[in-house]
Amino acid sequence: MLGGVDGQSKGIMPLLAARVAKRTGRPVAWRTVGKLGATARRVRYRMIGDINDRPDVLIVCVGSNDMLAGCSVRENGPLTSPRC
């Protein structure tokens, strides 16, 4: 595999969860939610609102699809490109 990991179990979230659990002495649950092709705008306005539980911490990582779609904050302003 070029870049990335073979599966989510080897990604950054389980590593971060394990370290937070070790440091705090508390259990940590994590999950990955995604949508193929979702841009930052879609995540912000459609997906985050669909999270029904109330996490203590929410980490959102976006940007790859924006880059592939040619979205530019400099050209379009944050989250305003119609194609994004």
Q: Mark whether 75 and 60 lie in a shared domain.
A: yes
Q: What is the pLDDT of residues 5-36, one digit of tens each?
A: 787 777 888 899 999 999 999 999 888 887 88
Q: Mark whether 52 and 20 lie in a shared domain.
A: no
Mean per-residue pLDDT, 41-52: 80
Q: Mark whether 73 and 60 lie in a shared domain.
A: yes
Does 26 or 76 have the greater pLDDT score?
26
**Number of structural domains in the chain:** 2
Side chain identity at 51, as an amino acid letter? I
Domain range enclosing 76:
33-84
Q: Mark whether 52 and 15 lie in a shared domain.
A: no
